[in-house]
Structure 1
Amino acid sequence: MKKLGIIAFALFIQTAFAQTNRFVYQVTMKPDASNKSDIKTENAYLDISAEKSVFYSENRIKRDSILQKAFQSGGGRGSVDRNQMEGLRSIINYSIEKDKKNQKTFFKDRIGRDNYSYEEDRPINWKISSETMKIGEYKVQKAETDFGGRKWTAWFTTDLPYQDGPYKFGGLPGLIVKVEDDKGEYSFDLMKNYKIADFPTLNQFGNTIKVKRADFVKQQKKFMDDPMSFMTQGGGGQFRIAATRGGGNQNPAEMRKRMEERIKDEAKKNSNPIELQ
């Protein structure tokens, strides 16, 4: 009986540590360089296990869930409520995975019709201050860094046993509760946390291309300069498909023009990215 009790306790401990912890951050952004009064706010998840962590938009997982149900029911994308999907649009289209064992950070984002993935090649060097304060229930300590062309101030707590944080941030002796840039254009604030059974599956539609970070930045700039070239690769099939929906009575040229205007407008609204260099 004693041996069984020890085994049961060991299994309990193993199960407890195998669980994934979800930290919910409120992300506040000013993504439009021409309109800094346009403030966007949405939630993002930082899911942490012993092996890895993943940071991504709450709206993304909600959209993925709706699409998955639509495909499972046999309806496909055409059966999805467009207004519902529009309400779940996100500025945080990227996801970030940190490999704890190998101390590597992987960034994934979409450019045009393809998904890109790169390994972050810049270390984050923190300057830890002795300054402390309370944020909510946590005692936090100040740290500062320069990263991606911005100066960042973070507040981390050792009350939680994780050396992690939102976005690409981590490497401090505790969990980052708050981090913001000195211009007040981007901030991440911890709102709550709870346990989940496992990491959700993030759907990746289209190809995934692994590149160096510098090559991703080049592709991103090309997209900002000429977004339509990325949408028409492969002979403009995307427009032919779109034009044939609804009985095929839509003009492909008009479809192209509307899409071009929409993409350029989206690019303008995201002209103040979190990383400036």
Structure 2
Amino acid sequence: MKRLGIIALALFVQHFSAQTNRFVYQVTMKPDAENKTEIKTENAYLDISAEKSFFYSENRIKRDSIMQKAFQGGGGRGSMNRDQMENLKTNISYSVEKDKISQKTYFKDRIGRDQYSYEEDRPLTWKISSETTKIGEYKVQKAETDFGGRKWTAWFTTDLPYQDGPYKFGGLPGLIVKVEDDKSDYSFDLMKNYKIAEFPALNRFGNTLKVKRTDFVKQQQKFKTDPMSFMNQGGGSGITAPMRVSARGSGKGGNQNPAEMRKRMEERTKEETRKNSNPIELQ
């Protein structure tokens, strides 16, 4: 009986340690450089296991769930609740994965129809201060770094057994509870944490293109000036899926001619680009 008890305890500990820990961060953003009074706030998840961590938008996983149910039901995009999808729009289109074994960080984001993925090639160099304070229930210590054209201040805790943080931040001797740039344009604040059974599977639409970070930046800049060249990549008819959705949403029964649809799509894309003129990474 004693041996069975030990085995049961060992299995319980093994199961407990195999679980993934989810940390929920409130992300506060000022994405429009011309209108800093417009503040966007949404939640993002940092899921951590022994092998890796994954940072992504809470709204994205909720949108994915709605889309998956719609497609499984055979209704496709047309059966989705558009108001519900509109309320789940996200300013965090990217995801960040950190490989604990190789100590590498991978960034993924969509440009046009495709997903682009690159390995982060700029290591974080932290200056750890002796200054401490308390944020919520955690005793935290201050650290500073320059990254992506911004000066960042982070507060990390050793109360939790993780050396990680939101976005690309990590490499400190503890979990980052808060990190903010010196202009208060972007802030990540830990709100709560709990355990989940496993990492979620995010929907991947389009191709995933592995590129160098510098190439990704070039493609991003090209998209801002000529978005339609990306929308038509690989499109035989020149009318892509996003355009067809736009036509249905216009209330004109999808009878617009391709030239008019291109113009509407281009205007909408450029407007989105203008509203996101203050990215988290400036260089």
Report TM bin, short chain: over 0.9
Give the partner amino acid of 1:55: F
Give the partner amino acid of 1:113: R
What SS class does the counterpart of residue 240 from structure 2 fall into? helix
CA distance in 1, matches of 2:41, 2:245: 31
What SS class does the counterpart of residue 256 from structure 1 fall into? helix
Give the partner amino acid of 1:15: H
CA distance in 2, matches of 1:180, 1:169: 11
Give the partner amino acid of 2:136: G
The aligned counterpart of 1:97 is: 97
The aligned counterpart of 1:237 is: 239
Give the partner amino acid of 2:165: G
Q: CA deviation at 1:214?
A: 0.7
Q: CA deviation at 1:82?
A: 1.2
Q: CA deviation at 1:243?
A: 8.1
Please list the CA deviations of residues 59-97 of structure 1 after superposition, one character each: whole Å capped at 9, or x if unmatched.
000000000000111111111111111110000000000
CA distance in 1, matches of 2:68, 2:212: 31
Q: Tell me the TM-score normalized by structure 1.
A: 0.96
CA distance in 2, matches of 1:34, 1:60: 26
CA 1:94 to 1:244, structure 2 compared with 1: closer, same or farther past 3 Å? closer
CA distance in 1, matches of 2:206, 2:264: 22
The aligned counterpart of 2:72 is: 72
The aligned counterpart of 1:255 is: 261
What SS class does the counterpart of residue 191 from structure 2 fall into? strand
Please list the CA deviations of residues 232-263 of structure 1 after superposition, one character each: whole Å capped at 9, or x if unmatched.
22352317755886865223222222111110
Kept after mapping to 2: 8 A contact 1:243/1:250: no
Q: CA deviation at 1:41?
A: 0.5
Total equivalences in the alignment: 277
The aligned counterpart of 1:122 is: 122
What SS class does the counterpart of residue 97 from structure 1 fall into? strand
What SS class does the counterpart of residue 60 from structure 1 fall into? helix
Asked whether 1:143 is paired with 2:129, we answer: no
The aligned counterpart of 2:282 is: 276
Kept after mapping to 1: 8 A contact 2:247/2:261: no
CA distance in 1, matches of 2:30, 2:142: 24
For residues 219-238 of structure 1, the aligned pairs below 5 Å read: 219-233=219-233, 234-235=235-236, 236-238=238-240
For residues 163-182 of structure 1, the aligned pairs below 5 Å read: 163-182=163-182
Q: CA deviation at 1:36?
A: 1.1
Q: Tell me the TM-score normalized by structure 2.
A: 0.94
Kept after mapping to 1: 8 A contact 2:239/2:258: no
Asked whether 1:193 is paired with 2:193, we answer: yes
What SS class does the counterpart of residue 237 from structure 1 fall into? coil
Asked whether 1:156 is paired with 2:162, we answer: no
CA distance in 1, matches of 2:2, 2:277: 64
What SS class does the counterpart of residue 45 from structure 1 fall into? strand
CA 1:5 to 1:187, structure 2 compared with 1: closer, same or farther past 3 Å? same
CA distance in 2, matches of 1:263, 1:49: 37
CA distance in 2, matches of 1:159, 1:99: 22
Asked whether 1:45 is paired with 2:45, we answer: yes
Instruction: Point out 4+ residue stretches in structure 1 off by more than 4 angstroms.
Output: 239-248
Please list the CA deviations of residues 2-43 of structure 1 after superposition, one character each: whole Å capped at 9, or x if unmatched.
222221111011001011111000000011111111111110
* Contiguous gaps of at least 5 residues in structure 1: none
RMSD: 1.5
* Contiguous gaps of at least 5 residues in structure 2: none
CA distance in 1, matches of 2:176, 2:9: 32
CA distance in 2, matches of 1:243, 1:153: 41
CA 1:242 to 1:2, structure 2 compared with 1: closer, same or farther past 3 Å? closer
CA distance in 1, matches of 2:78, 2:257: 19
Kept after mapping to 2: 8 A contact 1:112/1:231: yes
Kept after mapping to 2: 8 A contact 1:231/1:238: yes
